[in-house]
Structure 1
Amino acid sequence: MNSIPERIKLANLPTRIQKLERLSEKLGGPNIFIKRDDETGAEISGNKIRKLEFTVKKALDEGCDFLITCGGIQSNHARATAAVTAKLGMKSCLVLRGNGKENIDGNLFLNKVLGAKIKFITPEAYKEKRMEIMENIKEELAKEGHKAYIIPEGASDGIGTFGYYKAMEEIIEQEREMGINFDAIVVSVGSGGTYGGVFLGKKILNHKSKIYGVNVCNDAEHFKRRIEELLYESLNIMNETLDFTKDEINILDGYVGRGYALSKPEEIDFIRELAQLEGIILDPVYTGKAMYGLANEIKKGTFKEHQNILFIHTGGLFGVFPKIDLF
């Protein structure tokens, strides 16, 4: 096995793993460790750059000079895409869910500094027509002499998933170096690609951990279906088969709160508390909800069979700034 596509190296890897000593003690449950994928870079920080290493390599191999992608107004993925295109001498167009009247701060500000073209569309158009809109932009760019490559939301497709397959290889190597075994790995789930890659790595590399996802939008059933689709896409690229069932995909539902990118006071309080406890800042959209969910599930006893939990910090620091008023 192991016949995965090539990538270009863009991220600062490997990212370090730290023990959250005070949080572990406070919760009185298993040992909690954190993998600092918020440190994959500055402009490219977070989990998306691991996926983009594979996606952008494919785009370059196809002779593309323009990347088109989509996301929320504060999308970490969109910002990472804008940074990568600038770095590689390409151009980007970002289709963002918004009206263009939002405050220009956080990731949206950085997108503009990085020179990305931005098209704002309504939530309804985003939900129903985002792929059609991106295809139309691709056609318009072709008329101008550009060859564009469309990257789906979060770079979560069969090719992007390999970013977290490689991360799983990295984790296994770090376990050897640290003399520790992680029996649970926890990630936030917003488009499914990060979870899909870790799960794929776990299965193919025969890792004994149980992979948990905390969904920040939609529901568990939606993501079980979506992650299953992604896994089959990746296996098709590898020309491999894998024995797994949808029931092996563990989604800890119940922490979407007010909805995607909307925060409850308890979530903001938790982000502040962890920052002051460990000196690590989570983001309100993904990791804040996911770690809040993990802490609650530990209190409920969901993780009582586990000894060492690894939480993957997928970045998103710039997403804190548009939420200043909530803090």
Structure 2
Amino acid sequence: MIQENELYRKVADACQMGTAEAFHLHSRIHRLRWFGRSDIWVKRDDELSFGVSGTKLRKHASVIPFLKQQGIGEVVVIGGAHSNNVLSAAQTLTENNIRITPFLLGPPHRKQGNAKLLSLFVDDNEIHWISRSRWADCAALANNYAEKRRSEGIKIFVLPEGAHHPLAVPGALSLLVDILRNEREAGVRFDHIFIDAGTGMVAQSLLAGAAALERKTVFHIVVLAGLFEDFKSGLSQVIQYTGEVMQIFPVSLPDYHLYYPVTARSFGSTNRTILREIQRIAREDGILADPVYSAKLFLTARQTITDKRLEGNILMIHSGGGLALSGFLDHPVFHSTVE
């Protein structure tokens, strides 16, 4: 078991949280007016940055200081064409004068959302497109490229898909540290926490940190990419990373439940139901949600709360990604009356 203040110190040191250039890792919480209740809250990680998706910013908060300390000049970033992490990395790396070399699944049939925004940062001829049939070999191809660059004298680093890397653990754990701050300030303790999971590292770190603190909250995780087995495998990795990087050794995991999205289950897919939910959230809650992550989280959470009749204080983690909406705003759903 670890004490809260010790966890905070470890996270703060890795993220260099006392420095002028540190990323801002504090986000607020506020109530949602769902089902006539006053005990359902949302954590606004979407407000951490305009361009960098909230939970991605947390992971980069501990990766970037390491890259700068090591004098890394180029980073290979692996991901999908519409990845929040790739778009986030394009910003955080460029800001720190580090070249980004994307290895992406694709190319997509047409550019929209994040894929279109990425072209602001990276020329198409600088992207290494990997077809779906070769995607299983992407990590090997990226590492081969990195070895070639090293032979040319370039200090290079390979950032896996979703920044699922040991160096990202401290930043990912900053979410738990910040939730504890929110609880103290609001005078509440959350009985249930909902979070989405792409590669799943932030959600997995949340579980590992809660285990280290012997936290009894029930976690509800909406798995947006891959299978439940993939999430559990990644969780085992993160628990190992937490021990290696943070010297924190979780023993017994808290109670957690995995869900697939209630609709548009395929990662990156969307439909009219999702777009309607985005419109509902905007009009009823005053929040921008994106079609890949947060809208599916909110929709699945609403159904789960109702079906399971969840009681007590409930927190939704809004992970950000609102820029992805830019590719969908011309859809007819957004120009008609909510049904």
TM-score by length of 2: 0.86
Following superposition, the deviation at residue 254 of structure 1 comes to 5.1
**CA–CA distance in structure 2, aligned partners of residues 75 and 182 of structure 1:** 30
Q: Is 1:266 paired with 2:278?
A: no
The structure 1 segments of at least 4 consecutive aligned residues displaced by more than 4 Å after TM superposition are none
Shift of 1:213: 0.6
Q: Is the aligned partner of 1:317 residue 2:326?
A: no
Query: Which residue is equivalent to 2:67?
Result: 59
- The equivalent position to 2:127 in structure 1, one of 118, 138, 152, is 118
Q: What residue in structure 2 maps to residue 255 of structure 1?
A: 262
Kindly state the Cα deviation for residue 48 of structure 1 after the two structures are TM-superposed. Answer: 0.6
1:15 and 2:27 are equivalent in the alignment: yes
In the alignment, is the contact (CA less than 8 A) between 1:55 and 1:151 conserved in 2? no
Given that residues 53 and 85 in structure 2 are in contact (C-alpha distance below 8 angstroms), is that contact kept between their aligned partners in structure 1? Answer: no
* Per-residue deviation, 1:12: 2.7
Deviation of 1:100 after TM superposition, in Å, equals: 5.6
Determine the structure 1 residue equivalent to 2:170.
Answer: 162
Report the counterpart of residue 293 of structure 1 in structure 2. Answer: 300
> Displacement of 1:8 after TM fit?
4.3
Moved more, 162-171 or 54-63: 54-63
CA distance in 1 between counterparts of 2:233 and 2:76 reads 25
Mapping for residues 41-190 of structure 1, pairs under 5 Å: 41-99=49-107, 102-103=110-111, 105-115=112-122, 117-126=126-135, 128-190=136-198
Question: Hey, what does 1:279 align to over in structure 2?
Answer: 286
Provide the identity percentage: 24
Are 2:81 and 2:107, in contact at CA under 8 Å, matched by a contact in 1? no
State the distance in 2 between where 1:255 and 1:114 align.
Answer: 34
1:96-141 per-residue CA deviation (whole Å, 9 max, x = no partner) reads 11126522x4322332222463222112322x11111211221233
Moved more, 259-268 or 291-300: 259-268
- After superposition, give the CA deviation of every residue in 1:137-183 in whole Å (9 maximum; x if it has no partner): 21233244321111111112333132231221111111111111111
What is the distance in 2 between the residues matched to 1:34 and 1:251? 19
The two structures, once aligned, show a CA RMSD in angstroms of: 2.2
Deviates more, 1:175-184 or 1:263-272: 263-272
Q: Is the 8 A contact 2:263 2:273 kept in 1?
A: no
Aligned partner of 2:205 in structure 1 is 197
Residues 254 and 37 (structure 1 numbering): CA distance in 2 closer, same or farther, change over 3 Å?
closer
Moved more, 71-80 or 5-14: 5-14
User: What does 1:183-262 align with in structure 2 at a 5 Å threshold?
Assistant: 183-244=191-252, 248-253=255-260, 255=262, 257-262=264-269
| Separation (CA, whole Å) in 1 of partners of 2:176 and 2:193 | 10
Amino acid at match of 1:216: L
DSSP 3-state at the match of 1:262: coil
| 1:224–1:251 Cα contact (<8 Å) kept | no
* Contact 1:217-1:256 at 8 Å conserved across structures: no
Q: Distance in 1 between matches of 2:325 and 2:133?
A: 25
Q: Describe the SS at the equivalent of 1:160.
A: helix
CA distance in 1 between counterparts of 2:262 and 2:23 reads: 29
Matched letter for residue 28 of structure 2? R
Measure the CA separation in 2 of the matches of 1:82 and 1:146.
19
Matched, 1:308 2:313: yes
- Whether the 8 Å contact between 1:34 and 1:312 is mirrored in structure 2 is yes
2:212–2:249 Cα contact (<8 Å) kept: no
Displacement of 1:49 in angstroms is: 1.1
Counterpart Cα distance in 2 of 1:313 and 1:63? 33
Structure 1 Cα separation of the partners of residues 86 and 29 of structure 2: 26
User: Contact 1:33–1:311 (CA<8 Å) still a contact in 2?
Assistant: yes
Matched to 2:281, the amino acid is: L
Contact 2:74 2:98 in 1 (8 A): yes
Code of the aligned partner of 2:279 = R
Separation in structure 2 between the aligned mates of residue 173 and residue 72 of structure 1, nearest angstrom: 34
Paired residues in the alignment total: 318
Q: 1:260 to 1:45 in 2, by over 3 A?
A: closer
Range moving further from structure 2, 247-256 or 157-166: 247-256
1:12/1:284 CA distance change after superposition, 3 Å: same
